[in-house]
Structure 1
């Protein structure tokens, strides 16, 4: 049995995993990791990345560079050109990130699932009942980024970014083990609610990046980089930024979750089902037939 398989067998035990990733000072651990991961001392950098590769399925073959200044630099790596081709079909909404598909389906009675048997209200996630009402009888998909994945996220379609609302919160782990134990977890964690409107059809599509332990740091490329959403002040930032399908929108500092919401008439693509792997630019949802006909 290899060292990696031993570590994996320990971490995969639900009780141990939950204790290791949640029953610790989550905010303090997140702040410490944010500091440690940015140490650029060569020995610390090489040892950290080496241990990470030893204990995980980290694959850097599609990274733009193979040498990194720090562990953090490796986490937020860019990809080489062409590594994530974007489906150009205007009738498709594509995945904004590399991920494992979690819960997905219809918004029913204003509720969605974080995992089977654990519903939560969209209005609690958004912090805005009127905004949530837009997606009544619409569809949603939860996209979970693991620590080893590419951590940038991109525009799912040509769209106008209208606003970003920061919601402060906790940093629970967002893996399936925690999702089965902590009710309304996504509504408790730190998150950003990004409102967009599709350029051609006018449909509203909302992305909700959710922070997690060791993450709790989100960068949005369409906002002033000096802006820290966590500081006191207005929580909703209006913007008028046009982005093209597949264009970079931001990145997580580690790995986390993005929940995508689309209004009534959108349909999940056949390949989008819980447990499936998906990459940036691959089909996620199909636009309503009326919008499909109009685009011809």
Structure 2
């Protein structure tokens, strides 16, 4: 039987509510915006010693949430694949075959093809490995490249904006397949490919990527008439490990998908960090 909370969240116009909430926390109202900023920092115990600016330099919660880090706060490990974000690796595993199932939570799975909304692309990553990294509100929310390589393509999948906390992950079927998301496909230097799937969530719900400045979710800029909108770079766009790739405006989840070439090269990929907190730049090998 569905709980009242589930029914409420299902009926809530989550995208609209999130857009309104995003507008609210980005307002610059004298006194009130700074008070809200201070309460947010205190409530979530933000580690402001890592930030590039003091708390007083941020005009509101929105600016504080996408804060940058002071130089040297996230050293990049000497490893082929590093964490793209601060968070906790909640799930990882092997992608068995073309109809690979991925773990969402205990007793709940979803398919790679449904996540990508592309059966051919999913088949390309069969026999690879995946990892899910959850970002909490207190985490640093900029997204960095986990590998050195070049951009092959990207895609935007319109969707809803359920929360991505433990409550939702354990109750909402196919959560990551119904929430909207942007996927970045990278050809890794040395061979192999990696997908970086950025999943939106309730409250603001915005995802932005640096390589396509007009691609910002939940602000009314991206079309929603198709299940999937593809992006192909017009010129070569390269990343080094640790280069900033985009940002979340409010918390969410990153799913990494490595192909069979990378999985064979690194048999323990994502396994040693399962269940652990990770920092951007730390090795995932």
Please classify the TM superposition score into its range, dividing by the shorter chain length.
0.7 to 0.9
1:227 Cα deviation after fit: 4.4
Indicate the residue corresponding to 1:190 in structure 2: 180
After TM superposition, the structure 1 = structure 2 runs for residues 213-228 of structure 1, keeping only pairs within 5 Å, are 213-223=202-212, 225-228=213-216
Q: Pairwise CA RMSD of aligned residues?
A: 2.1
Q: Aligned partners of 1:283 and 1:55: how far apart in 2?
A: 30
Stretches of structure 2 lacking an aligned partner (at least 5 in a row) = none
Q: Does 1:76 align with 2:66?
A: yes
1:185 Cα deviation after fit: 0.4
After TM superposition, the structure 1 = structure 2 runs for residues 130-279 of structure 1, keeping only pairs within 5 Å, are 130-199=120-189, 201-223=190-212, 225-228=213-216, 230-232=221-223, 235-239=229-233, 240-264=236-260, 265=264, 266=266, 267-274=268-275, 276-279=276-279
Q: Aligned partners of 1:146 and 1:250: how far apart in 2?
A: 17
> Is contact 1:207–1:260 with CA below 8 Å preserved after alignment?
yes
> Is contact 1:165–1:235 with CA below 8 Å preserved after alignment?
yes
> Is contact 1:21–1:213 with CA below 8 Å preserved after alignment?
no
The alignment of Structure 1 onto Structure 2 pairs a total of residues equal to 266
Q: Aligned partners of 2:187 and 2:78: how far apart in 1?
A: 18
> Is contact 2:208–2:215 with CA below 8 Å preserved after alignment?
no
TM-score by length of 1: 0.84
Indicate the residue corresponding to 2:47 in structure 1: 59
> Is contact 1:168–1:191 with CA below 8 Å preserved after alignment?
yes
Question: What per-residue deviation string (whole Å, max 9, x for no partner) do you get for residues 251-290 of structure 1?
Answer: 011110000001221432553112x1001000113xxxxx
> Is contact 2:102–2:110 with CA below 8 Å preserved after alignment?
yes
Secondary structure of 2:48 counterpart: coil
